Copies of this chain bind each other. A is one copy, B any other.
C-alpha cells in the first residue's frame, strides 16, 4: 500500500497497551465486519502485505486474518479518525466472511432495537 498523507505510524495514538482499534469494513457492502487491535508492527505488516494483521490480546501474538481459515481480507484503504486513535480498514473480504463462527460479520446478533422517534 502507499501512504496517502504525511501522517506516519508514529503519529498515530496507540493506547498505553500499545494498541489501536481497527474497524474492518467491507468496502463493497459497507458492512462492519469485525473489530480487532493492531500494534505498530501489525499495522506495518498490514501496509506491507495489503492483508490484515492484528495483535491478539488474549493469545499475545500476531495473527493474519484468514491465514488458517482462508477467509482473507485484502486491504484497499486505511483511514484514521480525528484524534488518531482508531483505524477504519476497508477491505475486500474473501471466503465465507470475517467471523470465525462462519457468519459474514462478527456483529450478527442484535442486542437492542427500536428507539425514540428521532424528534425528541
Contact = CB atoms under 8 A, between A and B. Distances in A.
Interface of A: 1-5, 7, 12, 21, 23, 25, 30-32, 34-35, 47, 49-51, 74-83, 86-88, 92, 94, 99-101, 103, 106-116, 118
23 contacts: A1-B113, A1-B115, A3-B111, A3-B112, A5-B110, A7-B111, A23-B23, A23-B35, A30-B30, A34-B81, A49-B116, A74-B118, A76-B114, A78-B110, A78-B111, A78-B113, A79-B107, A80-B107, A81-B106, A81-B107, A82-B99, A82-B108, A83-B106
Q: Taking the full assembly, how many copies of this chain does it contain?
A: 2
A118 B94 contact: yes
A1 B32 contact: no
Given A23-B23, A92-B118, A94-B118, A81 B35 contact: yes
